């Protein structure tokens, strides 16, 4: 089946030619031994979301992950969060991402750090998850719904593949009280590919999908502080060899500048949510 036009635009936005080779070259430039990589070596580049590894650690703690759990990472990117939670909590993690290149790179990096027995990746659509009902203990998602317009189908699919009593762990960018947002941003170069909802819209979407919300944390202030620090470091020291700019390419500086401006002006907000089936 051919991808729809919207999905094709999203895949085009995230795809980078020879991304695996680009990342390995950046690792070498950063002084890492690419034949003896450790998970922490990858953290600057494989946590493709605001506040990086710190946000992943906080969400994992709130989600109550444990060693007997099977986790589905929806929008797994190049696999940083999935590899982290597999290593730290002993979870078995399945990642799914629309961008085929991300899935290939994620599997390659998992193999290089010795985690391919715990993590697997496959290309697929989050609104048509290729898994049976009640398969997973946890559905985990970071900065994925921002590219998806049909959110009720997205969350109903997440609900469907969760076991009864299972956990939905979300870390996402929401629409703020001021609009429109400034483009380009890391997830979209134009309005047509950005699909943010407000807090007031997301709560009923989750509840209508069958979830009971257990915790909801506004992390906007922490995100702004993080971006301010990142911007300061770039101004003083320039771009480091390894970072998410490796994934975003030439538009990174404009995207980062707009992301910070959107936070400062109340055009976007950040939320960390845990819900239960």
Structure confidence by residue, pLDDT tens digits, 52-95: 999 999 999 999 999 989 999 999 999 999 999 999 999 999 99
User: For residue 21, what are its two tokens?
Assistant: 């080779």
Please give the pLDDT value at position 3: 45
Positions of the chain with pLDDT lower than 50, given as ranges: 1-3
Closest CA to 270 of 230, 226, 233, 231: 226
Please give the pLDDT value at position 5: 53
User: What domains are there in the chain, each with its CATH number?
Assistant: 5-177+187-220+268-276 (3.40.50.150)
Please give the pLDDT value at position 72: 98
Please give the pLDDT value at position 44: 87
Measured between alpha carbons, how far is 87 from 113 in angstroms, rounded to an integer?
A: 10
Phi-psi region of 242 (alpha: psi -120 to 50; beta: other; left: phi over 0): beta
**Length of the chain, in residues:** 277
Please give the pLDDT value at position 220: 97
Closest CA to 107 of 23, 231, 10, 7: 23
Please give the pLDDT value at position 6: 65
Measured between alpha carbons, how far is 203 from 266 in angstroms, rounded to an integer?
A: 19
Number of H helices, E strands in the chain: 11, 7
């Amino acid at each position: 089946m051919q991808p729809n036009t919207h999905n094709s635009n999203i895949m085009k936005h995230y795809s980078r030619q020879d991304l695996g080779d680009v990342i390995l070259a950046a690792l070498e430039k950063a002084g890492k031994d690419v034949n003896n990589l450790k998970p922490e070596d990858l953290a600057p580049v494989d946590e493709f979301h605001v506040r990086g590894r710190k946000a992943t650690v906080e969400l994992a703690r709130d989600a109550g992950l444990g060693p007997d759990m099977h986790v589905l990472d929806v929008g797994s990117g190049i696999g940083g969060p999935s590899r982290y939670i597999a290593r730290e909590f002993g979870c078995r993690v399945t990642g799914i991402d629309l961008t085929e290149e991300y899935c290939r790179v994620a599997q390659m990096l998992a193999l290089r750090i010795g985690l391919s027995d715990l993590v697997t990746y496959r290309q697929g659509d989050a609104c048509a998850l290729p898994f049976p009902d009640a398969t997973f203990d946890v559905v985990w998602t970071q900065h994925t719904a921002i590219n998806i317009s049909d959110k009720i189908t997205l969350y109903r699919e997440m609900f469907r593949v969760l076991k009864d009593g299972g956990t939905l762990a979300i870390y996402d960018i929401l629409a703020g009280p001021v609009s429109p947002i400034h483009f380009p941003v890391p997830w979209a170069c134009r309005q047509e590919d950005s699909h943010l909802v407000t807090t007031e819209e997301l709560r009923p979407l989750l509840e209508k999908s069958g979830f009971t919300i257990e915790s909801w944390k506004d992390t906007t202030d922490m995100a702004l502080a993080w971006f301010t620090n990142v911007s300061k470091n770039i101004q003083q020291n320039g771009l480091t060899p390894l970072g998410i700019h490796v994934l975003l390419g030439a538009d990174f500086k404009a995207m980062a500048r707009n992301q910070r401006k959107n936070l400062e002006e109340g055009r976007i907000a950040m939320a960390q949510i845990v819900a239960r089936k």
